[in-house]
Amino acid sequence: MDVDFKIFKINSLYFRDQPAIAAEADLKSDRVYLGVVIAIGGNNCFVPFETKLKDNALLRRYSQWPVPSSTRPEAGLNFEKCLIINNFEYLTLIENPQIANSQKREINKNKASIKAKLNRYITNYINAYNKDRHLKEFIFKFTTLHCFHKELGLTQGK
């Protein structure tokens, strides 16, 4: 199945099985975790929808993609909280997602640009890791990518 840019929900079992990620992802017990899956470098990246992206120029430039709607003008995709989920037992495909048509159109018309920006974000994270700066650089300080070094092919030595 081609999963690129399909919308999924994360099953609660994922966070039970991945407690480190649950803490890093800033979970809220009443929240449904919807996101877009984007295939990057042999991994399936679950990029969550956020109702309100952080108002920060650096984050907007490097780790966010605005997807506003009339009811959620500050909504978007947040690469900072990207989860690499290669086991689809943890995901449920949403056939008819209840998101605004304007948001669907924004995502569909910008698939290549969104994918390129996410790929740059991950590549920049890997480069920061290799320079031992992944915990110091602002755009990576709170990223969930810290939990996915194995999937990103990063060594344990740093």
Q: What's 109's domain CATH number?
A: 3.10.129.130
Q: For the chain, what is the domain count?
A: 1
Task: Work out the number of other CB atoms within 10 angstroms of the CB of residue 83.
Answer: 26
In a domain, 56, yes or no: yes
Distance CA 134, CA 140 (A): 6
Cβ 64 vs Cβ 77: under 8 Å: yes
In a domain, 156, yes or no: no
- The pLDDT tens digits along the chain (158 residues) read 678 899 999 988 898 888 888 766 555 555 668 999 999 989 999 999 999 999 999 999 999 999 999 999 999 999 999 999 999 999 999 998 889 999 999 999 999 999 999 999 999 999 999 999 999 999 999 999 999 999 999 976 54
Phi, psi of 100 (to 5 degrees): -60, 145
In a domain, 158, yes or no: no
Three-state secondary structure call for residue 49: strand
In a domain, 152, yes or no: no
In a domain, 1, yes or no: no
Question: pTM of the full predicted structure?
Answer: 0.91
In a domain, 157, yes or no: no
DSSP 122: H
Residue 90, CB-side half-sphere exposure with 13 Å CA sphere: 19
In a domain, 113, yes or no: yes
Distance CA 136, CA 106 (A): 33
Q: Give the structural domain span for 64.
A: 6-147
Distance CA 120, CA 134 (A): 14
Distance CA 116, CA 5 (A): 13
